[in-house]
Amino acid sequence: MQILPSNPVMPEPQGLYRAIVRRPVAVTMVALTFAVFGYTSHDSLALALMPDLSYPTITVRTAYPSADPAQVERDVSERVEERVAAVPDLIGRSSVSKSDMSEVTLEFAWGTDMIRATAAVSEALERTSFSNPRIERPQVLRYDPAQDPIVRLMLFTNERQPDMAELRAYAEDILKPELSKLSGVAAVNVLGGVERQVRIYPDEDKLKQYSLSVTGIVAAVRNAGVDQSAGLIVSGDREVLLRVANVYSTQEMLEDLEIVTPAGERIRLGELAKIEIAHKEPETITRYASPVGGFESRAGVLLEILKEGDANILDAARAVRERLYGKFLGDVETGGRYPERKDRDLEVENMDRDDRRDFNRDQEFGLLDRLPAHFELTLLTDESRFIDAAIKDVRDSVIFGGMLAVLVIFCFLGTLRATVLIGISIPLSVIATFIPMQLTGINLNLMSLGGLALGIGMLVDNSVVVLESIARCRDEGDSIIDAAARGTKEVGGAIFASTMTTVCVFFPIVFVEGIAGQVFVPMALTVVFSLLASLVVALFIVPAYAALSARAHTGNGVREQWRKTGAILAAAGWPKERRGKPWWWPALLLNSLVMLMAWLIVASAALVVVIAAGVIRVLQLCLGWLGRFTLLPLAKVWNIGWSGVTNIYPRVLDAALSRPAATLSITGIVSIAALMLAMRLPLELLPSLNERDLYVDVACRDGTPLEATDRETRIVLNDALSAGGLAGSITGIMTEVGGGIDVVSRPVGEHRARFVVSLASGVPDAADNVKQAFGASIGGNPAFVETPEFHAPTLFSTTDPVAVEVRGQDLTRIEEVARRIASALKELRASEGGPLLKDVRTSMERGRPQVRLYFDREKLSRLRLTNAGVANELRMKIGGEVVSDFEYRGEKIDVFINLEEPDRASLTELGDIEIAPGQKLSEVLLPGSTLDAVEAPSEIRRTGNERAVVVTANPEAGVPLGVVRERIGDALLRNEVNLPGTHTALTGQQAELERSSSSLVLALLLAVFLVYAVMAIQFESFIDPLLIMGAMPLAGVGVVYVLWVSDISVSVIAMLGIIVLAGVVVNNAIVLVDYAKTLRRRGAPVREAVRESAIVRLRPIAITTLTTVLGLLPMTGWLHGPFGALASATESVPVLGDVLGFIAGGGEGAEMRAPLAITIIAGLTSSTLLTLIVIPVLYFLAHRGVLDNSRPIEVTKNP
């Protein structure tokens, strides 16, 4: 049924739209311009997994040899923090002081120019002086040392007795410098293997005999080994640099070094000490096991590659792979192998002489070409592979969603021409969106591509409404030009208002703080850009092409253009009256050549057009033939189902309008139930990602030697593999035992180890199999004292899920409070009685026991000794120190001095050690001093200007973060854990969740206000916008029920979807109410107007809803389940496997994007179903008592 006035007055089309529909060539060229620039912008967009979720950081690392954490804090960390406190844009600073090393981390505001920030920090440190000369120059690092490496490489040797020192030297001297200079690479850590060093072992008896000290020998060695500049001298007419070069290069040079005794004698160093070239004591042992070698654990040297803080992980990792494989990278990444050496040599031999002269073998063949024959270099992990797969998966989802949206349009319209016309708006709007994305610095990540997927379905909304309006005007008798212009004008205001309501939702992003703001901004801007592009396409391009489709059949357009072109070229000829002039013939010849070139250009262009038209015609015939047997039957089946909907909907609507109280009561009951259920939905900050790697951290008893820990980890690995079921779930296992001061991404120590397990793709339970196998193997091994900790690499930086920070100045009190909190957290129980938290631990790990020595200053003064002198003598004898460099086979190694193991004093014999000729340590100690060992911290943390200890934990599986936050807060208040001078605070993801939630709620309220304001301005009414906004709570009903059924937590991602719904769901109600107002202006009563409006707008509402829902459907990951197994089974089938793989997707990153898609799909679906019933009822109730100028109308059948 269609209700219209008896004599409707048709407004004249606007001049703007009439001019547009008459200029299809101009419109086409503008569209092509945007397409070209959009494609260019797309190629320049960077790729990333997520927006930058961590503050930009700079780390200041300072080495302080032979210093304990307290010394490092006092002499270095506090000093550095003071100097950098005034650096611009600095928002936070923290430090970790551990033995021999200080690391101060500086956090800057988002958007800070990190190059300038680095320069400012370096300038501040240039003016910093330290009290102890042993403190080395601070290093300013543009990366977070705690980050996981983006690439891991392992260097092996295929010899039975591998020379680990040779492996280490090759990694340090060849591989590390080559990889460190790549763009985006911040540092390359070399772990494992052994390093050579020259060891000097002084003989204590000889030292006593000649009254010498170790300090004196160290001074003699340092003074003799000199390599430094001595200034400039003039030689003739130029200056020459004078350099003193006396570097130790042979063992004999050290042995022949003369030491002068206090008595004036000269003694060779070789007579006083034992000198040998030996291996350093290793700090780390690294191994790798893979199916290729039957999971045999092979020792090797590990290279960990870290990226710069602001570098793109994909670009940096690809630069590493290109440097490794050279031009063979493409073959390796497609499943091929790196060529053998003989094949590479043969390729060089077959080159021409000129090609060989310009050939750079090192760059073309990569670093693998330089490996010695008995070396192997294996790429173990590459975090960019997961990111690349996740980005590809979401790109495929966007494309597949667009295809589904176009299919829906075809099913409704039934004609390929109209479908293509509307389908143009999708690729054109998407390509145009890349231009502002590139200008605003937005990269392609899961969030921005998610916004693009959200826009895919919404992009066609405006075009559908415009084309429906044009078709209606054609049915009313307008010409194609008038129909295109008038149809666009009639709905132009409505689609502008509906687009602006959606755009307005994203304005409050400026008030969203924390991680939510960083996630929301790229998605919001992407949606805004795509919607504005779709609005332009719908208002200007669709009308022009709709009018062009009717004019194209006349055939006069091409002939007219050809006639005009010929006339223009003919006008360039020479008039007859100029003939006979002396210059006429040369000019005529030149003019003829120019005319010939012009005609050739025109003819070539015409030929290209004819060929293109022919190709398009052939494709049109093929598509028409294909559609006749595939799409048309589908459209017929769809029309049968849609006819049933159109027959049932008026009856349901009439029943609702007849019983408004019952309709609103049922809606209210459903809404109240959803509200009560929403209070029970779990909360979390961000969903966790299921990645391709899994970390397993284990620890033996404190004090376990490195070799013993390595032996136990091999036993654990063998037990886990022999249990069965694990080999098929993994592709390799890297073991890292121990760790030095350079390793900060994990807990280190000789008793600690980490397994890096590479999971097999396509095995859904791979991670669970690994956890079960390693859990059983480690649990049954008494050497391990802690349960294994499983976690995935941090591809983007977030804080710990549960973190309680204790601050103060008294370290003892802070540690006591932290112990109380850890005990309280371990006692928390979930509702079913099990533990609420797991992996509860504090940052205050015990370091090695300390023996504190207190000297009698009067005795030292009488003996002409100093505290520093005695400390240096003890350090040289017991701890040892690097005193010089040594050239060994072209590499520089350390010269290290200390006593041999038998001569080093034990704790019971420490008092008998000589600190000076004839003076024992016990003789200079304060009376009453004891040589008892006491515990000391392994590190001291500072946050701001206070010391801090952090208690961290992870929720048990299925325990939401919101419940954890409430329970921890209650436990801290109940137990009163604080001591005087200490204070605690919830930090980590709990604090970030609270901060993000509050800012998102504020953004939602502001978005609702802006939507109301736009609609009030559009309708010039306060009541109608309120009626339209009734669609918002209706959307929340569907969201709550679907999240509850799907067992999905309310995360920041889901909250963003709710905010987006605030602007999206009102669009259908706007279109419905707008047309009802139009019908009332034409004289229709309220009930008939709202009824006819709902029936007429049913089809465009259904089209826009289904295109948005189906456009987002691939983002949910729901298709991966049913189609994933089929894709794996048909992987070898050339076409079918690719098609099913495209539909199913890889599933990478689905955990992060699915909550957004599911939230919007659920909200939009429920809102649409209820809007078609509830909004007409509300409109009828609000306006049925309003007097208007309605007059009787004629009810006609809907054509």
End-to-end CA distance of the chain: 8
**Predicted pLDDT at 691:** 66
Q: Which DSSP state fits 509?
A: G
427 and 533 both lie in a single domain: yes
Does some domain include residue 152? Answer: no
| Helices vs. strands in the chain: H and E counts, helices first | 43, 30
Task: Look at residue 102 and give its three-state secondary structure.
Answer: strand
Please report which helix (H) or strand (E) contains residue 92, including its range: strand 90-98
Does some domain include residue 604? Answer: no
Bridge partners, residue 846, by sequence: 937
Residue closest to 837 by CA, chosen among 925, 920, 960, 940: 960
pLDDT of 647 strictly over 80: yes
Please state the rounded mean pLDDT for residues 744-763: 80
Does some domain include residue 1047? Answer: yes
Let me know: does 218 contact 874? Beta carbons within 8 Å: no
Q: What is the CATH number of the domain that holds 103?
A: 3.30.70.1430
Please state the rounded mean pLDDT for residues 696-700: 87
Residue 1086 Rama label (left phi>0; alpha psi -120 to 50; beta) = alpha
Does some domain include residue 1116? Answer: yes
The pLDDT tens digits of the residues spanning 286-337 come to 999 988 877 888 899 999 998 876 677 888 889 999 999 888 887 777 777 7
Does some domain include residue 466? Answer: yes
Q: Give the model's confidence band at 1020: pLDDT under 50 very low, under 70 low, under 90 confident, else very high.
A: confident
Q: What is the CATH number of the domain that holds 1020?
A: 1.20.1640.10
| Secondary structure E strands in 982-1109 | 982-987
Residue closest to 942 by CA, chosen among 17, 85, 54, 30: 85
600-629 burial, b for 16+ CB within 10 Å, e for fewer? eeeeeeeeeeeeeeeeeeeeeeeeeeebee
Q: Give the model's confidence band at 13: pLDDT under 50 very low, under 70 low, under 90 confident, else very high.
A: very low
Does some domain include residue 487? Answer: yes
What are the structure tokens assigned to 1127, written together? Answer: 């894709």
Residue closest to 960 by CA, chosen among 1042, 1043, 1036: 1043
221 and 259 both lie in a single domain: yes
Print the SS3 string covering 910-961: HHHCEEECCEEHHHCECCCCCCCCECCECEEEEECCEEEEEEEEEECCCCCH
**Predicted pLDDT at 302:** 92
445 and 352 both lie in a single domain: no
Residue closest to 466 by CA, chosen among 435, 447, 446, 489: 489
DSSP 217-236: HHHHHHHHSEEEEEEEEEET
**Predicted pLDDT at 179:** 92
Residue 867 CB neighbour total at 10 angstroms: 13
Task: Look at residue 761 and give its three-state secondary structure.
Answer: coil
pLDDT of 397 strictly over 90: no
The pLDDT tens digits of the residues spanning 921-944 come to 777 777 766 666 666 677 788 887
Lowest mean pLDDT across 672-676, 738-742, 751-755: 738-742
What are the structure tokens assigned to 664, written together? Answer: 């609103």
Q: Per this entry, what is the length of the chain? A: 1199
Please state the rounded mean pLDDT for residues 180-199: 88
pLDDT of 627 strictly over 70: no
From the CA atom positions of the chain, what is the Rg in Å?
A: 38
Tell me, rounded to whole angstroms, the distance of Cα 1168 from its chain centroid.
34
Residue indicated by tokens 């996630």? 519
Please state the rounded mean pLDDT for residues 753-764: 83
Q: Give the model's confidence band at 557: pLDDT under 50 very low, under 70 low, under 90 confident, else very high.
A: very low
Residue indicated by tokens 């004891």? 930
> Under 8 Å CB-to-CB from 654, ≥6 apart: which residues?
1091
Task: Look at residue 400 and give its three-state secondary structure.
Answer: helix
The pLDDT tens digits of the residues spanning 472-492 come to 787 777 777 888 888 888 788
Q: Please list the helix, strand and coil fractions of the chain in percent, rounded to the nearest 5, in that order.
A: 55, 15, 25
Print the SS3 string covering 275-292: EEEEECCCCEEEEEECHH
pLDDT of 1189 strictly over 50: no
Q: What is the CATH number of the domain that holds 912?
A: 3.30.2090.10
350 and 393 both lie in a single domain: no
Residue closest to 846 by CA, chosen among 932, 785, 936, 934: 936
The residue among 908, 923, 938 that closes a domain is: 923
Please state the rounded mean pLDDT for residues 1075-1087: 83
316 and 413 both lie in a single domain: no
The pLDDT tens digits of the residues spanning 33-57 come to 888 898 888 888 877 777 776 667 8
Tell me, rounded to whole angstroms, the distance of Cα 222 from its chain centroid.
49
pLDDT of 153 strictly over 90: yes
64 and 129 both lie in a single domain: yes
365 and 328 both lie in a single domain: yes
Does some domain include residue 35? Answer: yes
More reliable by pLDDT, 1040 or 558: 1040
Residue 743 CB neighbour total at 10 angstroms: 21
The pLDDT tens digits of the residues spanning 1134-1151 come to 656 666 665 666 567 777
Bridge partners, residue 734, by sequence: 288, 756
366 and 471 both lie in a single domain: no
What are the structure tokens assigned to 389, written together? Answer: 């797969």
Residue closest to 295 by CA, chosen among 698, 723, 675: 723
pTM: 0.74
DSSP 268-331: EHHHHEEEEEEEPPPSEEEEEE-GGGTT--EEEEEEEEEE-TTS-HHHHHHHHHHHHHGGGHHH
C-alpha distances in Å from residue 821, one per residue of 269, 664, 943, 1186: 57, 51, 19, 66
d(CA 1114, CA 1149): 12
Full domain range(s) for residue 33: 2-49+387-553+641-683+995-1186
Percentage, residues of the chain above pLDDT 90: 4
Number of structural domains found in the chain = 4
pLDDT of 135 strictly over 60: yes
Lowest mean pLDDT across 392-396, 661-665, 742-746, 782-786: 742-746
pLDDT of 762 strictly over 80: no
The angle at the Cα of 45, spanning 39 to 48, to the nearest 5 degrees, equals 140
Does some domain include residue 594? Answer: no
The residue among 96, 118, 141 that closes a domain is: 141
1043 burial class (0-12, 13-18, 19+ CB within 10 angstroms)? Answer: buried
266 and 354 both lie in a single domain: no
254 and 221 both lie in a single domain: yes
319 and 429 both lie in a single domain: no
Q: Give the model's confidence band at 528: pLDDT under 50 very low, under 70 low, under 90 confident, else very high.
A: confident
1040 and 1104 both lie in a single domain: yes
